[in-house]
Structure 1
Amino acid sequence: MKLFVIGAGAIGGTLGARAFRDGHDVTLVDADAAHVAAIRRDGLRIEGPVEEFVVRVPAILPEELPDTVEHAVVAVKSLHTAAVADLLRDRLAPDGYVLTVQNGLTADVLIEALGRERVLASFVNIGADLMAPGVVLQGNVATFRIGELAGGPVTPRVARLAEVLPYAEATENVLGYLWGKEVYGAMMWAGAVSDLPIAETLERPEYRGVMTAISEEVLAQAPVTVEGFDGFEPDDLPGSFDRLAAFNRRSAKTHSGIYRDLMVRKRKTEVDEVHKDIQGPVFDRVVEMIHDIEEGRRTCEVANLDELARFVAVRTG
């Protein structure tokens, strides 16, 4: 399998580097010219407590993609999904397919451009960050599931991808995992309005009301049976918060990618893409706060989380 990983940042870089080191034919594709140049010059460096290594993996810009692509992994931020769909629209081979490893429910954008039968989905909970051009931090090892969007028995192509990509396992209910990630992600969005580490936002008793309310909002909208992972169990939210806090304390990644987008990289987050799939009074308020931070009317601080806690307390009486 010749695999193009489109988006060589945190997750794309981690998966691509390890698959390449395992002997697979991988090419990284990224729109960041400095990142591509650094990988070409020095290789891609994976740092962190899991393992540190450098791979001399091929890296190209999007315009350097060949005319025909058989297999691709889409690992860009969700707000760039449409651009990748356009990039692949006339390139994807008739019997080819793509796997999205993105946050959120992004498959519909790819399906519209490529066809439902050529899109696979996955759930990835590995903690990773792009630290500098050519450098990715892998903070932990966590759940990674691949499956057909329609569910059902594992197909040969899903099984093959699970063999090629590190940490991956096949599943018959990938949407269930994705909706579980939506619940966990909602907690991360709420926590990102402050500057507290992930584990602290999950374990502090004064924020349990926020985490419970926003989780219940998402669970109420899930159209499938939600799957548990890495300590999260949809039918045990109080225990999930404790277990997820412990899980995050074991990771070298202390703050979410959302927080890094807001306070380190100073760039627009994926919140509007997520908001298309999830609505509700608490999440709507979080989205307003994220917009305020993006546009300079707020900064990430505990006062925002305290305000959110008061909002939830008033709503719940």
Structure 2
Amino acid sequence: MKIAIAGAGAMGSRFGLMLYRSGNDVVLIDQWHDHVETIKKNGLKANYNGQEITEQIPIFYPQEMTSNKTQVELIIVFTKATQLEHMLQAIKPLIGIKTMVLCLLNGLGHEDILQHYVSKKNILLGITMWTAGLEAPGKAKLFGDGEVELQNIDPAGEAGAHRMVNVLKKAGLGGIYSSNVKYSVWRKACVNGTLNGTCTLLDATIGAFGATTAAIPILKAIISEFAAVAQKEGVVLNQKEILDHVAATFDPNGIGMHYPSMHQDLIKNHRLTEIDYINGAVARKGRAYNLPTPYCTFLTELVHAEEQILKAR
């Protein structure tokens, strides 16, 4: 199968590598200069479950796709949420009437953007439990197991979704067809919505935030706002289960000693965040449904204020 990985960072490198090694015709697309040039020169290197491997996978800048004449069968999107539309605009020549697009981005509302570029029946939403890291430009660190849960957003796309599940299974990526992927997407967004903005603003690890007396009340308030908006969109979240799930992340023997990704983006690297696609999306949808979302709105505003203070780009 001809596959394009749109956003070839750590996770995109994992998926591109595993799909390439299972016999697919894969191209990587990314805009990080050092990463792209290193892979062009030396191939994609990876510590793959302790084994050092190198694969010569073609990689291009998004702008190099504007004159492309070859359409692909599947595009897997791994950009930052803020870069999604720019990427889709650049790779439009890759998208044909039968091209499926699997969106594995964190956050909410990406299908609204995708529908401007891809037929609704060809859009797949999903979440992944795989992990990946980059040790250096062009060098990925890939350990552990995972899976990909996905579903078509239009009933007409179900056959295509099952085909893509099989492609992912064959590559060892653990494809699973979901009967309710929107629940999983909302649940994951809710986890991000309780931890990313709070830990970023407090400059705290997940466990340090969790150890405060304010943590549980804040979590309950944010989760209730997510649940109220989700219900308007036909998704009924189990608030107690999500609260227990988030609270479990406070354990210092798990991920409690770590900072969430938004903290790394903004505080460590002064990069713009994805807050508008997490708490900001709930606040935006809340206004449309005439639902109050004071915690999500305030968190979004504070994160944007911090972006300005730190001159994030």
User: In which range does the TM-score fall when normalised by the shorter chain?
Assistant: 0.7 to 0.9
Write the distance in 2 (CA, Å) between the matches of 1:2 and 1:91: 10
Query: What is the 5 A alignment of 1:233-248?
Result: 234-246=239-251
Cα drift, residue 98 of structure 1: 1.1
What's the CA shift string for 1:114-161, capped at 9, x where partnerless?
Answer: 221221111124444445322345576455311111469953334334
* Structure 1 residues 174 and 41, CA gap change in structure 2 (3 angstroms): same
- Name 2:104's counterpart in structure 1: 101
Please give the TM-score of this superposition, normalised by the length of structure 2. Answer: 0.80
SS at match of 1:69: coil
Query: What is the 5 A alignment of 1:65-104?
Result: 65=65, 66-70=68-72, 71-104=74-107
CA contact (8 A) 2:205 2:257 kept: no
Amino acid at match of 2:169: E
What 5-or-longer segments of structure 2 have no aligned partner?
284-292
- Name 2:168's counterpart in structure 1: 162
2:275 counterpart (238, 246, 271): 271
**2:188 pairs with 1:185:** no
- Name 1:315's counterpart in structure 2: none
Amino acid at match of 1:97: M
CA contact (8 A) 1:214 1:282 kept: yes
Write the distance in 2 (CA, Å) between the matches of 1:142 and 1:234: 25
* Structure 1 residues 44 and 266, CA gap change in structure 2 (3 angstroms): farther
Write the distance in 2 (CA, Å) between the matches of 1:212 and 1:298: 31
What's the CA shift string for 1:185-216, capped at 9, x where partnerless?
Answer: 10122222233223443455441111221112
Amino acid at match of 1:115: S
Percentage of matched positions with identical amino acids:
21
Write the distance in 2 (CA, Å) between the matches of 1:270 and 1:20: 29
Cα drift, residue 234 of structure 1: 3.8
Write the distance in 2 (CA, Å) between the matches of 1:208 and 1:157: 42
* Structure 1 residues 238 and 83, CA gap change in structure 2 (3 angstroms): closer
SS at match of 2:27: strand
SS at match of 2:244: helix
CA root-mean-square deviation: 3.1
Write the distance in 2 (CA, Å) between the matches of 1:290 and 1:148: 33
Q: How many residues get paired?
A: 292
1:175 counterpart (182, 197, 202): 182
CA contact (8 A) 1:6 1:72 kept: yes
CA contact (8 A) 1:152 1:172 kept: no
- Name 1:26's counterpart in structure 2: 26
* Structure 1 residues 60 and 151, CA gap change in structure 2 (3 angstroms): same
What's the CA shift string for 1:242-263, capped at 9, x where partnerless?
Answer: 43335x8445992222111112
SS at match of 1:94: coil
Cα drift, residue 73 of structure 1: 0.8
- Name 2:137's counterpart in structure 1: 133
* Structure 1 residues 290 and 74, CA gap change in structure 2 (3 angstroms): same
Cα drift, residue 112 of structure 1: 1.4
